[in-house]
Amino acid sequence: MRINTRRKKWAAVAIVTLVSVIASVIVTVIVVGALDPQALRPAIIMPLLVAPLVTHWGADRLLEIDRLNQQLAHLNRIDQMTQLYNRACLMEKLEQEPEEGGMILIADIDHFKQINDTYGHDVGDLVIIEVARVLQRSSLPEGIAARFGGEEFVIYVPRLDL
């Protein structure tokens, strides 16, 4: 079971606790050789005390891992400066598109090095971010905008031709 919600976390705690109690009772019956109430009491109480605490702790770790994996997947697909898809994600999305045609626009900021050299990299970053915003708005609602390289961008709009 993948633990990625609080409900699944608590379900895991309940399941592991129940299985722990059952296993403890079975082992106790095998060792003692009978259903002795004196021997069964600790066989039930100990897993009820230990299993929920340990499972809750472990399930919390799994929830955190799932959240971090989702964050990592997002970071792996999105260009951090522009918040557009990155090149690898664009290529993956283009491979998934049905072969019904579409339009691809490739844009490059001409003489971008001069902007960085004249006004500095902070201003150059602002220019890239603003160009990305314009391209993102231009690709909506069903298009895909991506940062392809340093100052190179691609827009894909399905089912659109010249």
Which CATH code for domain 87-158? 3.30.70.270
Domain boundaries, given as residue ranges, for the chain = 6-77, 87-158
pLDDT at res. 35: 85
Q: Which residue has the tokens 């799994």?
A: 62
Give me the catalytic one of 92, 100, 130, 151.
151
Distance, CA of 93 to CA of 114 (rounded, Å) = 33
Q: How far from chain centre, in Å, is Cα 79?
A: 15
pLDDT at res. 33: 86
pLDDT at res. 1: 77
pLDDT by residue for the chain (162 residues), tens only, comes to 789 999 999 999 999 999 999 999 999 999 998 888 898 999 999 999 999 999 999 999 999 999 999 999 989 999 999 999 999 999 988 888 777 778 889 999 999 999 999 999 999 999 999 999 999 998 878 889 999 999 999 999 888 776
pLDDT at res. 127: 95
Q: Is 95 a catalytic residue?
A: no
